[in-house]
Amino acid sequence: MDSCRRLLLCALFLLPLAPGLVLAGANAPARIDEDEIQVRRQGETWTVEAQFVVPVPPSVAWEVLTDFDNMTAILTNLSSSRVLSRQGQVLQVEQKGRARFGIFSFAFESLREITLTPRRRIQARGLAGNTRQFESDMVLAPLDGGTRFSYRVAMVPDFWLPSLLGPSLLQHELAEQFNAMAAEMEKRFAVR
């Protein structure tokens, strides 16, 4: 139970700062598959990288990505998400929730400093939570008919994450959360 809990904590701290998905077809809903998420480990550091496209303009993608106060309506594992402070384009965001994996369930929380470059980039740095080090970078680029996302995170968890099982579980959990974010982007775009 402890190793499942630790794996899920690792996956949960990667989001909700990473949305988006690959186009399944011209008008099909976006969908990212687990194998499109690259997970590597070097020493204690885990790195996740992904590039994908969502068929919405950058303005809609940005609206969803930065809707921290309403993130609980987008990601069902969150019970609380709020901006604690804002100084210009630098925010402190606290999130709490409960992860579920099969019969296992546990609470998690994080505090991040987020630096925004409107409609182009979101950089996050962990201040507290279940990682000793956390840094992520999400870059948005407009495309004809959509937005391309380039996401990278490097983290050192404060718990053991097994090398063999870790990548598969991270890919699975992140794909679920990416798909939830993309669905919200597409929903908001459809009502405009």
Q: pLDDT, tens digit, for every residue of 99-132?
A: 665 555 666 789 999 999 999 999 999 999 888 8
Q: Does 181 have pLDDT greater than 80?
A: yes
Instruction: Render pLDDT for 67-91 as a digit per residue (tens, 0 to 9).
Output: 999 999 999 888 999 999 999 999 9
Q: Quickly list DSSP for 44-69.
A: TEEEEEEEEEESS-HHHHHHHHT-GG
Average pLDDT over residues 1-29: 44
Q: What is the mean pLDDT of the chain?
A: 81
Identify the pLDDT of residue 34: 78
Average pLDDT over residues 151-164: 76
H or E stretch including 178? helix 166-190
* Closest-CA residue to 79 (of 51, 63, 98): 98
Tokens of 131: 């990682």
Identify the pLDDT of residue 88: 97
pTM of the shown model: 0.81
Instruction: Render pLDDT for 31-64 as a digit per residue (tens, 0 to 9).
Output: 778 778 898 989 889 899 998 899 999 999 999 9
* Closest-CA residue to 160 (of 135, 134, 131): 131
